[in-house]
Amino acid sequence: MRKNTQNMKCTMLKIALGIALIPTLQQISFAEEGRINGYFENATYIRNDVGLSKFRNTLQLEAEKPIKSKGSFSNMSFNGTFRLTYDGVYDLNEEDFGNKAGGPISLENTIGGPGSSVTFGEGLALPFTFDTANNPNEGMIVLGEHLHATDGGVAFGVPVRSCDKDSRGCINGYLDRDIDELRFQELNDRLDFIRELYFDFDFNLDNGDIISTRLGKQQVIWGRTDLFRVLDVINPVDYSRNNIYDELEDIRIPMWILKTDYRMGATETFDDLNLQLIWNFDRFRPNDLGQCGQPNVILDAGCFFRGMNALWDNGGTVANFAGGVVATDFGPGQIGIRQAEMPSWSLSNTQVGLKFEGVLGDLGFSLNALNYRSQMPSLRGGIPAQNSFTGEVDAWPALIAFDIHFPRVQLLGGSMDYYSQGIDTVFRLEAAHTSGEEFANTLNENLYSESNVLRYVIGVDKNIFIPFLNDSKAFLFSGQVFGQHILDHQSEERLLGAAGIPDWEENWTATMLIKGWWMNDRLSPQLIAAHDVRAQATAIAMSVEWIFSDNLKLTGGVNFKLGTGARKFDDCRTCNPFAPFTAAFDEHAEGSTLGLQGFEPLGRFQSGPIGMAQKEDELQFTVRYSF
C-alpha cells in the first residue's frame, strides 16, 4: 500500500507541473504545422555457437509541434518520440532464449575426482536442506556455463525461462519480466513506449538573458565522451538492448525531468556562459543489466542475481562448497539474495544536478554537481538468515546472504574540450569524483564497503587524409582512454589467495574509432576497438553502412572479442560464517576468509563487461527505412 501511495504522489506531481503550465498555454496558439517522421528497423544478429540472438523489429515516431511566440515567451514547442519493438528471438530461438530454454543440470563435485558431478538436489545434505519438489531440476543452466567450466569453483542452477513460465529467481520489482515484456520491451508499467515527451520554451529577460526550459520525459546529456560514462549519469542505461555497443542515444532510459538553463550569452571575458539546473523527479530506475534468459546480460550479473534469489527462496545445490570440494545442498533462507530494496518515490528520493558551462575562444568547459541514486546495484550482507547446521536465524558474519540496494551518491566533476586550429585536432577531457558508491568486499563481515571513486576520460578527435584510400574525403580518427581509480580499495593476500574488493584498484580501457566515407558519403565503413588493460580483453566491431536511398539504409557488421576471458577471485567458500561448523581448522576466525578462488561470483568484476562477453561474437545486419 505504501508503494502504491508513493507512486500515486509521483504521478500527481507530474500532473500538477503540467497544470501549472496551463495559464501560459491558454495564451498561445500553434505557430505552424508540426512535423512527424520516423523509421522502421529490423536488426538480425547471429551469435557464434548459439544462432539467432536478436530479431528486433523497431517502429519509432518523432513529432514536433511549434507554438507561436507570445510576449516574453519564444521557441515554444511540444516534442515527442515513441518507440515500439518486437524481438522475435524469443519465438524463433526459444531453445536458447524462450520458454523452452534450459533443462536439467548437474553440478561439479570435485571430491569424486576429475569430471565428477552430482545431479541437482543430490549434493551433501546439510541438517536443514531443500525439497526438489519445490525447486525441480528443469529449465535451468549452470551459472557461467556458457563462459567457462566450473573448474573447481562454486556454481549453482539458474532458471532462465520468463517469469510467467518459471517464477524462480524473479526478484520482485527488479528483474521479473514475463515473456511479453521480453518480446515487447517498451510495453510495461513505466510506459517505455514514450521515449520522450516534453514541452520546450524560452523566457526572454529584459537584460537579454534567456531562461530556457524543457519539462517532461527526456534524456539529459552531460559530458563530452562516448561509450563509457563519467558525467553522463542522469539517465540510466538499458544494457540488455545490445550490451555497451549501441549508441547511448538509443539505450539511455528517458526520465521525467525538469531542465532549466539560464543563458547569459557573451560576457566581457567569456564567449558564452550558461547555468543549468536539473531536477529528475521521476520514480527511481536502475540500469537495465538484462534478465537471465535474455541474449544480453552485461557482466552476466542478471544470471547471478536470479540464481541467488532462487537459492534464497527455494534452496538448491552449490558445486564444490563444503571443504571447497563437495557439492552441497542448502535450504531456503540460508544463502542467496533475499530482495531488492527499490527506492519508493518521495521528494527526498528525487535527484538534483547543477552544471555551469562556458566557452572561451577555442576552449569549452563545464563544472558539474549531481546528487543521485546509484544506477548500479550493491549487494549488502548482514541480513538475518538460517544457520544451515543449527536452524537458528541471525545475522551471521561474512555469510553470502544479501539484499540489493541502490545507495545515494554525490558526484563532483567537470569537462573541457579544446580545438587546436594549428593541428586541426579536438582534445576532450572529462573527470568525476563520486562518494557513496559501494563495492563487494570479502574482507568486510557484511561483504561490501563504501569507497570514493575517481573516473576520467581523455579523448582526441582528428580528421586525417589517407590519399591512397580516399583522396577527396578525410577519415575520422577518435581515440579515448577511460580510467577508474577506487580510492578506498582494500586487498589482502590470505592463505589461499587474494581477498577484498574484486574490482581493480586502478584500471583503464582504451577505445579507437576509425570512420571513412565514399560515394558522396553514402558508403561508410568504420572500425571500433576497445581494450580493457587489466582484464586483457578486447572487443572489435567492424561495420559498413550503405545509404541506398534517402529512405533506405543497410548496415552489416561483425562484433568479436579477444582475451583471457573469465577470471578467478575469492568466492567466500572459506568465509566461516557458521563457526565452528564451517571452520577450516581450529584457528580459523569466525567471518574470516582464507581467499579460496573461483570464477563465480566475483571474478566477473575483474573480467569486466568485455571479458565476460568472450563467447558472444556476432554477425549483425540492420535494415532501416525512414519516412
Q: What's residue 29's pLDDT?
A: 45
Whole-number Å distance between alpha carbons of 137 and 235: 39
Q: What's residue 6's pLDDT?
A: 47
Q: How far is CA 612 from CA 378, 501, 536, 607, in A?
A: 19, 18, 11, 6
Mean pLDDT of 289-298: 96
The per-type count for the chain, helices as H runs and strands as E runs, is 7, 34
- Residue 28: pLDDT over 60: no
Q: Which helix (H) or strand (E) holds 306?
A: helix 301-314
Burial of 73 (0-12, 13-18, 19+ CB in 10 A): middle
pLDDT per position as a tens digit, 222-267: 988 777 899 999 999 999 999 988 889 999 999 999 999 999 999 9
Residue 292 is placed in which grid cell? 537471465
pLDDT per position as a tens digit, 410-440: 999 999 999 999 999 999 999 999 999 999 9
Residues 608/610/611/614 CA torsion (nearest 10 deg):
150
Report the half-sphere exposure of 527 (CA within 13 A, side-chain side).
7
Q: What is the mean pLDDT of the chain?
A: 93
- Binned at pLDDT 50, 70 and 90, residue 572 comes out as very high
Q: What's residue 32's pLDDT?
A: 61
Instruction: Give the CA angle between residues 590, 593, 597 to the nearest 5°.
Output: 150
Residues 230/234/236/241 CA torsion (nearest 10 deg):
-70
pLDDT per position as a tens digit, 508-538: 999 999 999 999 999 999 999 999 999 999 9
pLDDT per position as a tens digit, 338-377: 999 999 999 988 999 999 999 999 999 999 999 999 999 9
Measured in whole angstroms, how far is the alpha carbon of residue 218 from the centre of its chain? 18
> The pTM is what?
0.91
pLDDT per position as a tens digit, 380-418: 999 999 999 999 999 999 999 999 999 999 999 999 999
- Residue 74: pLDDT over 80: yes
pLDDT per position as a tens digit, 117-155: 999 999 999 999 998 888 999 999 999 999 999 999 999
* Of 15-19, 267-271, 533-537, minimum mean pLDDT range: 15-19
Higher pLDDT, 621 or 30: 621
- Residue 478: pLDDT over 50: yes
Residue 189 is placed in which grid cell? 508499467
